Amino acid sequence: MRARFIRLGEGMSRCAQGGQAIRAVALLPGVVGAYARPGGGALLMTVPGFGIDPGAIWRPSGPERTRLVLRVSDETPRGVVLVPGQRPAGEAVTDTVNMLCSTRYTDLGEGASYQGTRLGVRAAP
């Protein structure tokens, strides 16, 4: 039997008691003896293993600027708007008074950003 391996994601740590949840999941490979075999265990982040110098890519933040993600399109047109780790329709809409017309028909449940891939929807050429 192959050694079992768990790749933990960052999202788990952002929940209430997330640190405890990560500790509990990281112990599971130990329960089945996976840490004793090559390739077994758990991993949270791989960045330190690549030897990247963070000082080379960090820069001062500058003045803080807060923007409503759903209103970004009202500003100067851009080719791409990248919002890492966010689902604007699923997380930014907090009440029905400020909900935009287009978000009324959006799937606000879990995995809203993955609807297109799950249903096999492709962009028009």
Q: What is the pLDDT of residues 65-103, one digit of tens each?
A: 666 656 655 666 656 655 555 555 554 445 554 455 444
* pTM tops 0.75, yes or no: no
**Residue at 37 is within a domain:** yes
CA–CA distances in Å: residue 21 to residues 7, 41, 42: 14, 16, 13
CB 42, CB 28: distance < 8 Å: yes
Burial class (CB in 10 A: 0-12, 13-18, 19+), 37: middle
Q: Which pLDDT score is estimated for 105?
A: 46
**Residue at 83 is within a domain:** yes
- 37-50 pLDDT tens trace: 888 888 887 766 66
pLDDT at 119 over 50: no
CB 3, CB 34: distance < 8 Å: yes
Q: How many Cβ atoms sit within 10 Å of the Cβ of residue 2?
A: 9
Number of domains the chain is built from:
2
Record the tokens describing residue 97, joined without a space. Answer: 């008074």
**Residue at 86 is within a domain:** yes
Q: Tokens 């209103």 correspond to what residue?
A: 71
Three-state DSSP class for residue 43: strand
**Residue at 14 is within a domain:** yes
In which domain, by residue range, is 17 found?
Answer: 5-46
Residue 118 CA to residue 51 CA, distance in Å, equals 36
**More confident: 62 or 77:** 62
Mean pLDDT of 48-57: 72
